[in-house]
């Protein structure tokens, strides 16, 4: 499967699991050209086709000039790829499961084994800290670089009043992390109605933060069957 085809599959899987909706976007670093990444033109994830995927430079400019509309928040992807050479795939989304943690002081904590894939720390960024009142879109490199500073070495970052960014060492790991972060957040929200939350310990997080290739591939095959059925 080509990287472009896998990117299309990632869009559909994340859409199926309500990580993406009409908004949000996924990218992957170019497998042969480390200074470039692949992402679609600005379309709803459900509408993205192979011909809609184009190459971008790490300054968020398209390699080949185009008149097509581009995601205004593509700078999120370019800034992260510049700062984190180990990152090979990125998703920015606004999943309802995670938004409560973007608008309250309640910390998002891993509470299940698969939720451990969120990493040992989920970072948080507030645009007001550096930029005051904005339209909440990350529409330039300066804003994206500020987000990257807060991201540090984490695999996930919550964006106050807006959404989430999730990173992966490859597309399949990214999708695994994005899907199970949402599922884990839903479990945490439900469990809070029953009593005190018992989150994973630091030691458990360390041991679960990197999902196995076997687990990722099992889920990927399962998710491909789900999107075929739809």
What b/e sequence results for 95-122 when a residue is b if at least 16 CB atoms lie within 10 Å of its CB, and e otherwise? bebbbebbeeeeebbbbbebbbbbbeeb
Rounded Cα distance, 75 and 83, in Å: 12
Checking if the pLDDT of 1 tops 90, the result is no
Are 63 and 54 a contacting pair, CB within 8 Å? Answer: yes
Structure tokens at 107: 């910390």
Q: Work out the widest C-alpha separation in the chain, in whole angstroms.
A: 55
Handedness of CA 95, 118, 42, 171 (dihedral sign): negative
Q: What percent of the chain has pLDDT over 90?
A: 98
pLDDT for residue 147:
98
pLDDT for residue 230:
75
Checking if the pLDDT of 158 tops 70, the result is yes
Place of tokens 């999120």: 76
Checking if the pLDDT of 102 tops 70, the result is yes
Checking if the pLDDT of 114 tops 70, the result is yes
Q: What percent of the chain has pLDDT over 70?
A: 100
- The answer for residues whose C-beta is within 8 angstroms of residue 47's C-beta and 6 or more apart is none
Catalytic residues: 73
Structure tokens at 17: 């699991």
Checking if the pLDDT of 149 tops 90, the result is yes
Which is more confidently placed, 219 or 34?
219
**Mean of per-residue pLDDT scores for the chain:** 97
For 209, counting Cβ atoms within 10 Å of its Cβ (0-12 exposed, 13-18 middle, 19+ buried), the class is middle
Closest CA to 33 of 81, 77, 105: 81
């Amino acid at each position: 499967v080509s990287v472009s085809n896998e990117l299309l599959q990632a869009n559909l899987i994340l859409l199926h699991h309500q990580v993406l909706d009409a908004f949000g976007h996924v990218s992957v670093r170019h497998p042969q050209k480390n200074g470039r990444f692949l992402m679609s033109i600005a379309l709803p994830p459900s509408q993205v086709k192979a011909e809609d995927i184009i190459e971008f430079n790490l300054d968020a400019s398209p390699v080949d000039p185009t008149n097509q509309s581009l995601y205004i928040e593509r700078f999120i992807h370019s800034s992260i790829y510049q700062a984190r050479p180990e990152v090979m795939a990125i998703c920015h989304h606004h999943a309802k499961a995670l938004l409560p943690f973007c608008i309250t002081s309640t910390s998002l904590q891993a509470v299940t084994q698969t939720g451990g894939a969120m990493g040992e720390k989920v970072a948080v960024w507030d645009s007001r800290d550096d930029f005051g009142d904005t339209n909440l879109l990350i529409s330039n490199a300066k804003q994206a670089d500020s987000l990257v500073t807060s991201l540090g070495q984490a695999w996930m970052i919550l964006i106050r009043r807006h959404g989430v960014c999730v990173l992966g060492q490859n597309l399949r790991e990214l999708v695994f992390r994005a899907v199970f972060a949402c599922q884990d957040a839903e479990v945490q929200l439900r469990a809070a109605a029953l009593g005190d939350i018992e989150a994973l310990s630091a030691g458990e997080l360390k041991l679960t933060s990197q999902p196995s290739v076997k687990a990722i591939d099992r889920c990927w095959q399962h998710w491909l069957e789900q999107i075929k059925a739809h």
